[in-house]
Amino acid sequence: MQFYLPIAEMPVNVLTVLGMSAAVGFVAGLFGVGGGFLLTPFLIFLGIPAPVAVATASAQIAASSVTGALNAWRRRAVDRKLGLLLISGGLVGTVLGVVFFNAMRRIGQLDLVISLSYIVLLVGIGTMMLVESLRALLRRDGQGEGPVRPAGSHRWFEALPLRTRFQQSGLYVSVLPFLLAGLLFGFIGAVLGIGGGFMLVPALIYIFRIPTAVVVGTSQFQILATMLVATLLHSATSGAVDIILALVLIVGGVIGAQMGVRAGQNIDSRQFRLLLALLILAVGARFLADILVKPVEPFSLVRGEVRG
């Protein structure tokens, strides 16, 4: 069943888009991460222009983050001070990202920038996830996140100025690294159409040792704020948000996420982290192939009509 996308200016099969968004939602629900890092590449592979894919994925991510953010707020799993810092940095990064996005689009280099960025991002993160997953599978007890920090040692961010206390996260550290993290992930999210949760959550857990429940809830608010602003800015500055496509993606994503959450309760997470790592590497390899492999027909003839 075909339907026409007015902004992308192309017809697509609605069942294909629903199935794809449901699959991405399933992965997101299974692992508790945003699916933008898979959704945007899949849209591009489907033939959606990269600017439309990025801008529309931002709208889908913002919509899908509402439920998670509200649930975290009700469960009091949100560090408000930490969330405000991440959002403050994230909004600045989002604005800078949209400015960069439009600048690259004007000079005709946006597709190349998106492809190269996804290659670096997906291959790098996929490799780290693959190594971590293999280590977890090889460990007999399956426990332990890494070497224990020696007594008396200090991490690099503990010596930074402007320190404050984060009661719910159990930290007394500088605000600077959180502002920087928010800015960085906000910028990446605006340029690539990803929420950034699959990068932000591990960073807060493994670098700052913040409790997982607090991290997930707090990151949901950061993602909601930055993706909402990114959607509005993309819509106002480039008009690349395709509402019809976004609605279909939201429907499929909600259905898939519910199935993923249920499946995740009865599945060995270590095995599926391995599969997710392989999937991420495969998507990165596809982007790399698109750049390196020479097209079979670099030029094509299109029959047209000349009117006097």
Read off the pLDDT of residues 218-268 as tens digits, 9 standing for 90 and up: 887 888 888 889 889 988 888 888 888 888 888 888 787 777 766 655 666
Tokens matching residue 123: 């291959």
Output the pLDDT for position 8.
76
pTM of the predicted model as reported, rounded to 2 decimal places:
0.76
Average pLDDT of the residues in 150-163: 63
Continuous H helices in the chain:
14-31, 36-45, 50-74, 80-106, 110-138, 176-192, 197-206, 212-237, 243-264, 269-292
Nearest in space to 257 (alpha carbons), one of 100, 7, 34:
34
Instruction: Indicate if the pLDDT at residue 270 is higher than 80.
Output: no
Q: Look at 150-164, 179-193, 267-281 and tell me which has the smallest mean pLDDT.
A: 150-164
Whether the Cβ atoms of residue 101 and residue 234 lie closer than 8 Å to each other: yes
Output the pLDDT for position 32.
58
Q: How many CB atoms lie within 10 A of CB 31?
A: 17
Arithmetic mean of pLDDT over the chain: 78
Q: Which residue has the higher pLDDT, 237 or 153?
A: 237
Instruction: Indicate if the pLDDT at residue 298 is higher than 80.
Output: no
Highest mean pLDDT among 94-103, 136-145, 250-259: 94-103
| Domain boundary assignment for the chain | 2-139+160-289
Read off the pLDDT of residues 186-208 as tens digits, 9 standing for 90 and up: 898 888 888 777 777 777 877 77
